[in-house]
Amino acid sequence: MNLAQSVLKGDRLALARTLTQVENDSAEGRAALAEIFPHTGKAHLIGVTGAPGTGKSSLVNQLALHFRREGKRVAILAVDPSSPFTGGAVLGDRVRMRDLAGDAGVFIRSMATRGSLGGLAQATAAMTQVFDAAGFDVTLIETVGAGQSEVDIARLAHTTLVVEAPGLGDDIQAIKAGILEIADVLVINKADRPGVENTEKALKSMLELAHPTRHVFMHHGQVMAEDEGGQKSAPLDARMWLPPIQRTVAVDGTGIAELAAHIAAHAEHLRASGDWAARERARLGSEMDALLQDALMARFRAEVPNGKFESTLAKVYERSLSPWEAVTLLLNGRQK
Amino acid sequence: MNLAQSVLKGDRLALARTLTQVENDSAEGRAALAEIFPHTGKAHLIGVTGAPGTGKSSLVNQLALHFRREGKRVAILAVDPSSPFTGGAVLGDRVRMRDLAGDAGVFIRSMATRGSLGGLAQATAAMTQVFDAAGFDVTLIETVGAGQSEVDIARLAHTTLVVEAPGLGDDIQAIKAGILEIADVLVINKADRPGVENTEKALKSMLELAHPTRHVFMHHGQVMAEDEGGQKSAPLDARMWLPPIQRTVAVDGTGIAELAAHIAAHAEHLRASGDWAARERARLGSEMDALLQDALMARFRAEVPNGKFESTLAKVYERSLSPWEAVTLLLNGRQK
């Protein structure tokens, strides 16, 4: 039985080894990925992102426990793109371990960034496929911060939670319109802290800015809109999803069940609207683009004559060729 | 006189237009970049990064005013990778404008992210070249957050400031070892707030973790080390730079002159150690890599038969081909 087959059988050691091979983008990892790929596409990928200090790790921990109680198998992938040099996610793992250790229905993995641009989102996508094939019903992808990497990783998920906390929102910049726009569910964690009303008010006004409709509310399970004159409109397009705002206190479990209900509702919405398939396609498309880029670059490097690349680069260092001129020269030279 | 020549002459309208063309990666922008490239390599690129709420924009503002008083021409490039959908940097600009507006020796530009992975660092690099050729002595590159994008952008700079503030450091995650390792100078802004001692203590212990030497101090301008027994060693390698920690209160200018002195000392250190040239080379090398990747992808797309790419992608959607198998198939098909 090879590595991929052992993963499909549910062997945890094989799973751990495959994840490492996939993270390292080794030949063994690629072979395993190709073999398990037909068995993917079942898991619900949930992204959890937000600024440092919002308590994301505890929240992910509590969500995992909740899903376990529902009988689901849960993988946690903690991605830390802000620590390209050191493995920053280790501490979070140790905290988590206390509640989840020894549960065969849970698998926790952390990863720091890989060297190349785009490599992190690529490795994350591949690792979620391994969990998916291994039969995990839910993968929680936890990212730190609010940069482009987090947005790229959020795009991998079916459902993205953006976590805020009271007190961090004092500064206008702390609540970024951009990060809000990737949110499917907004979480105000540490909601027992003072200032929670202000945080919620700020989030609501940001949401109103992001959505053209002035007042939107739920009515018998349908999203309704109210225009400026207060007239109630017909139910909005079923494809529309308005990010709910959920208060939680992760450390004591407050609001976790309600949050899980929002997540389930979002998954249902995705399936009903056809967005589930659309997100899968977008994800696979960008995964292919990234692989293609790597392969083209590797082939180019192999084909360009020895020393040609270095001598051209030297001319760029002397500023006698611009980078663009150098690239044009290298590409044309190769075709001759 | 073409666009590039007008930029070299110091024409502000031509500069603004070139920056737009370069940001859009247009043919006109690429032509201008190639023409101005031999005139680059003089500017000091200073990256300023840190979590939201640390007061980076005010700090950049004050540094710009300080450099202006020294007679330097200053460009500010505010990059906001956390707002891929909306232009998040606009507010910061308006705040800055009050102090710097109307000064012909200052040019402020903000940019949000470009679509492609790596596109942002690439566009940022190109825009700093335009400022450099236009005769700006200093370019301050301001980024929000602490993700991979910021690290990539920091790698463009000669000198990187990492900004912290008291109160944000309560959470262990707020001070990331990774982001510290890109810091050439550490700034504790809002240093009039309570908790400044704790922030400084936390930064110092992080620095000690990052540097193997237990105790390092300045002695007659040389970096000295003290071993665990308290014995003073010989001066350390001249190539070694220990990030100083500088307290500032940007809103009233406290600590700005001292910060500028640290920045100048770092530039001197880079030149003396040969690291200035090394950083320039690394920057140009990765710029070429990124351009090459784009060009290879564009050529591949043009060469692959019509419909072939889409039909292969469709097989991936059906999960009858893995993304990696699909890429291999496309590449081999092209060679036949």
| pLDDT bucket at A208, cuts 50 / 70 / 90 | confident
Which chain B residue lies closest to A30 (C-alpha atoms)? B324
Instruction: Say whether A186 sits in a helix, a strand or coil.
Output: strand
Q: Please state which CATH number belongs to domain A40-211+239-278.
A: 3.40.50.300
Q: Mean pLDDT across chain A, nearest whole number? A: 80
Low-confidence winner among A178-187, B63-72, B322-331 (lowest mean pLDDT): A178-187
Class (C level, CATH) for B40-210+239-282: alpha beta
Residue numbers in B near A176 (CB within 8 A):
52, 82-83, 88, 144
CB proximity A313 to B under 8 Å:
yes
Nearest to A315 by CA among A300, A334, A330: A330
Predicted local distance difference test score (pLDDT) of residue B9 = 94
CB proximity A296 to B under 8 Å:
yes
Residue B232: phi, psi to the nearest 5?
A: -80, 135
Q: Is the pLDDT of residue A19 over 90?
A: yes
Q: Is the pLDDT of residue A176 over 70?
A: no
Predicted local distance difference test score (pLDDT) of residue A149 = 61
Q: Could you tell me whether strands B44-50 and B138-143 are parallel, antiparallel, or unpaired per DSSP bridges?
A: parallel
Nearest to B284 among A34, A171, A316 (CB): A316
B197, B203 Cβ separation under 8 angstroms: no
Mutate to test the interface with A, among B288, B308, B329 (most CBs of A within 10 A): B288
Predicted local distance difference test score (pLDDT) of residue B155 = 75
Cα separations in angstroms, B230 against A13, B211, B224? 47, 17, 12
H-run or E-run covering B109 = strand B106-112
CB proximity A137 to B under 8 Å:
no
How far apart CA A131 and CA A32 sit, in angstroms, is 12
Residue numbers in A near B41 (CB within 8 A):
319
Q: Would the ipTM clear 0.85, i.e. be above it?
A: no
Predicted local distance difference test score (pLDDT) of residue A77 = 92
How open is the CA angle A253-A256-A261, to the nearest 5 degrees? 160
Which chain A residue lies closest to B31 (C-alpha atoms)? A324
Cα separations in angstroms, B299 against A289, A332, A335, B136? 14, 11, 12, 36
Q: Is the pLDDT of residue B321 over 80?
A: yes
Amino acid identity of A25? D
| pLDDT bucket at A238, cuts 50 / 70 / 90 | low
Q: Note the pTM of the prediction, 2 decimals.
A: 0.66
Which chain A residue lies closest to B317 (C-alpha atoms)? A281
* Alpha helices for A85-225 (secondary structure H): 90-100, 119-133, 148-154, 177-180, 196-210
Predicted local distance difference test score (pLDDT) of residue A90 = 41
> Among the ranges A112-116, A119-123, B71-75, which has the highest mean pLDDT value?
B71-75
Residue numbers in A near B317 (CB within 8 A):
280-281, 284
Shortest Cα–Cα distance, A99 to chain B (Å): 20
Predicted local distance difference test score (pLDDT) of residue B190 = 94
CB proximity B51 to A under 8 Å:
yes
Predicted local distance difference test score (pLDDT) of residue A165 = 87
Q: pLDDT digits over B87-138, tens only?
A: 334 444 445 556 677 788 999 988 765 544 456 778 888 999 999 999 999 9
| pLDDT bucket at A104, cuts 50 / 70 / 90 | confident
- Rounded to a whole number of angstroms, the CA Rg of chain B reads 23
Under an 8 A CB cutoff, do B293 and A293 touch? yes
Under an 8 A CB cutoff, do B145 and A149 touch? no
Q: Is the pLDDT of residue B294 over 90?
A: no
Percent pLDDT > 90 in chain B is 40
Predicted local distance difference test score (pLDDT) of residue B234 = 46
Predicted local distance difference test score (pLDDT) of residue B179 = 65
Q: pLDDT digits over A57-77, tens only?
A: 889 999 999 999 999 999 999
Rounded to the nearest 10 degrees, how much is the dihedral formed by the CA atoms of A101, A102, A106, A107? 70
CB proximity B150 to A under 8 Å:
yes
Residue numbers in A near B40 (CB within 8 A):
319
Mutate to test the interface with A, among B42, B160, B173, B325 (most CBs of A within 10 A): B173
Q: Output the six-digit token pair for B176.
A: 């990331």
Own/partner contacts of B304-312, CB < 8 Å, gap of 24 or more, are B304/B330, B304/B333, B304/B334, B305/B333, B308/B333
| pLDDT bucket at B42, cuts 50 / 70 / 90 | very high
How far apart CA A262 and CA A256 sit, in angstroms, is 10
Domain map of chain A by residue range? 40-211+239-278, 304-335
Q: Is the pLDDT of residue A321 over 60?
A: yes
Nearest to B82 among A178, A285, A325 (CB): A178
Q: pLDDT digits over A256-291, tens only?
A: 999 999 999 999 999 999 989 988 888 888 888 888
Residue numbers in B near A83 (CB within 8 A):
176-179
